[in-house]
Structure 1
Amino acid sequence: MEEKKSPASAAESAASGQPAAVPAAELRPGRRKFPTVGDLFAMLGIAFGAQIVVGTAAMVFLLFAGHGLDFKSLEPAALGKVMAALYFCSMSITLAGILYYRRARGGSGPWARFSARGLNPALLLWAFVLMFAVGVVLEPLLRLMPELSLEVGRGFWTILSLVIFAPIFEELICRGVVLGSLRGKFGVTTAWLVSSLFFGVLHGQPVQVINATVIGLVLGYVYLATDSLWSVMILHALNNAVAYLALATGHGNALLIDLVGSRTLYVLIYIAALALSAVSGYMMLRTLRRMKEAEKNPSAA
């Protein structure tokens, strides 16, 4: 008979930072049909296809409404409302399409996990600081990339889109469906890496691909550690809220080096960010190694 943990012991385990408990039957990677590499490309195709269809429909509507094909001609608040509607429609189609495709390809098991473990304040604070740190570490590379071109508007609807819609849809897809499915077939480490890359590619533009892939590593680890989408949705929302604040204040494409007046101070911040990223990366890899061992021997987990 399998021993059941009491709520108190489960809470103690969460506070200690131990990996989240997952049913033993779901730990061991198996020879499942879904997902293959082709399936990953197909799911990306569903996402980009939904964006193209919804975007084309929106342009036709604006054309007949007398606004022309230039979204930039709209007022910021109106643009925010349009972009929020487009995002919600395209991501709803994407999520529904991916879930249908997953089912058609034989994907099984739960694809969205939620638990109170995801509300560990210490873990969330560490992950939020780490996301900022890796962003600083990436700055020398990001400076070499084409400047991000993103028109999302301003105001309530833009905030709703970035801080509510995006975390929900993208985490359900990238951590819920993609990471969960990959873990069931290939194991925790491969799932962590590939789902992060999937998350990055989903964002399209080169700067976003690099930044989102690295952020995805942090989000993916937190999801694996907590077995809860609450945690990553909260972190994603906080990250996007900071991004919107920078955008609204005219610093959308600004890097920290552009905002810090003292070069000496920037170097010190960069060294601290690099150290935090290195130590955190090592700790994450150690935890993932323990998870991988648990997958190989579920009875000992």
Structure 2
Amino acid sequence: MNQKLPQRIASLWLFFLVYISASIITAAPIIALSFIFDFDNIVLLALASIPANLIVIFYYTRNRFSSAFSGAFASNSINYSAANVGLILLVTLCCIVLLDPVQAFLPLNDWGREETKELLSKPLWGFLLACIAAPVLEEIIFRGIVLKGLLQSNSPVKAIVISALLFGIIHFNPPQSIQAFLLALLIGWIYYRTGDLSLCILVHFINNALSFSLFQITSLKDFDTLYSILNNNTLYFSIELTTLLLFIGGLISLNKLFRLSNNLASNPVTAL
């Protein structure tokens, strides 16, 4: 029998249980070995997230794996022109800049800061895990499974907020959780408007790839925020205000693009 996608609070508890259980099962052997042989390998621990995510995906798509995401990666959501991709890039970058104050000003404990830096300090593994595996697998789970299920029995706003909240919680790190939640609101809106996981993965990739790329610049390794890099209140808040205006304009343009694409998809004759 096919497993239903999580649609209500009760099914979300089950999802969380499945997700946590899968994470524990895959990470436990590595943690045990680290205690026995006295080693600490963040790469191995991060690698454990891949089978954990695959377990969750398999659980919710078993018996119908081939059709579970039919059309999700080949949607006619937008024309992938340079201009349109550039617009998505602009909106994503603006969102990232607007999230900077969360880490810059909120007095939150960054539990995973050193572990994240250790992972990113290994360019090959850092890129594969943070920029490839995480965007693809996490978007399949949190947009392609969780949000898709919630949209079937909840209002779009409620579904997007709840799925974003779950996405933030599973990061288990206060600053990262808040930023992940806010970014997931944008990604969730994009999925709701397009049904295209490719766009969600693209936005997620841009966010992670930017962090990864900045960390590879030696002179910026010791800076965690744009605020600490600039070290100038006037310049920083001027950039934030300008970015906010660009973000709003970008969202309006993106909304028009999605509306136009939806109209063309429902009335293909007009595209001739």
TM-score (norm 1): 0.69
Determine if contact 1:54/1:89 at 8 Å carries over to the other structure. yes
Return closer, same or farther for 1:246/1:274 CA change in 2, 3 Å cut-off. Answer: same
**1:143-162: CA deviation from partner (whole Å, max 9, x where unpaired):** 21223524142121221111
Structure 2 counterpart of 1:18:
none
Structure 2 counterpart of 1:14:
none
Once the 2 structures are TM-superposed, how far is the Cα of residue 255 of structure 1 from its aligned partner? 1.1
Determine if contact 1:84/1:157 at 8 Å carries over to the other structure. no
Determine if contact 2:73/2:197 at 8 Å carries over to the other structure. yes
2:14 maps to 1:46? no
Once the 2 structures are TM-superposed, how far is the Cα of residue 261 of structure 1 from its aligned partner? 4.5
Distance 2:86 2:69 in 1: 26
- Return the match for 1:185 from 153, 157, 182: 153
Return closer, same or farther for 1:281/1:155 CA change in 2, 3 Å cut-off. Answer: closer
2:28 maps to 1:67? no
Once the 2 structures are TM-superposed, how far is the Cα of residue 33 of structure 1 from its aligned partner? 9.2
Equivalent AA in structure 2 for residue 193 of structure 1:
V
Return closer, same or farther for 1:128/1:212 CA change in 2, 3 Å cut-off. Answer: farther
Determine if contact 2:167/2:181 at 8 Å carries over to the other structure. yes
Structure 2 counterpart of 1:126:
87
Determine if contact 2:7/2:152 at 8 Å carries over to the other structure. no
Structure 1: tracts of 5 or more residues without a match = 1-31, 104-108
Return closer, same or farther for 1:207/1:59 CA change in 2, 3 Å cut-off. Answer: same
Distance 2:60 2:162 in 1: 17
2:165 maps to 1:197? yes
**1:219-268: CA deviation from partner (whole Å, max 9, x where unpaired):** 12222333211111122122111111233445376111111144332222
Distance 2:204 2:59 in 1: 23
Determine if contact 1:127/1:218 at 8 Å carries over to the other structure. no
Q: SS of 1:125's equivalent?
A: helix
Distance 1:90 1:176 in 2: 16
Distance 1:215 1:33 in 2: 23
Structure 1 counterpart of 2:270:
none
Determine which structure has more spread, i.e. the larger CA radius of gyration: 1
Return closer, same or farther for 1:189/1:84 CA change in 2, 3 Å cut-off. Answer: same
Distance 2:92 2:162 in 1: 18
Return closer, same or farther for 1:193/1:90 CA change in 2, 3 Å cut-off. Answer: same
Q: How does 1:153-232 map to 2 (within 5 A)?
A: 153=119, 154-232=122-200
Determine if contact 1:50/1:91 at 8 Å carries over to the other structure. yes
Structure 2 counterpart of 1:26:
none
Q: SS of 1:185's equivalent?
A: coil
Determine if contact 1:163/1:241 at 8 Å carries over to the other structure. yes
Number of residue pairs the alignment of both structures matches: 246
Determine if contact 2:46/2:129 at 8 Å carries over to the other structure. yes
Equivalent AA in structure 1 for residue 73 of structure 2:
F
- Return the match for 1:96 from 44, 58, 62: 58
The sequence identity of aligned pairs, in percent, is: 22
TM-score (norm 2): 0.75
Return closer, same or farther for 1:268/1:186 CA change in 2, 3 Å cut-off. Answer: same
Distance 1:239 1:211 in 2: 11
**1:17-42: CA deviation from partner (whole Å, max 9, x where unpaired):** xxxxxxxxxxxxxxx99511121122
Return closer, same or farther for 1:252/1:159 CA change in 2, 3 Å cut-off. Answer: farther
Distance 1:170 1:252 in 2: 28
Equivalent AA in structure 1 for residue 18 of structure 2:
I
Q: SS of 1:254's equivalent?
A: coil
Distance 2:81 2:151 in 1: 23
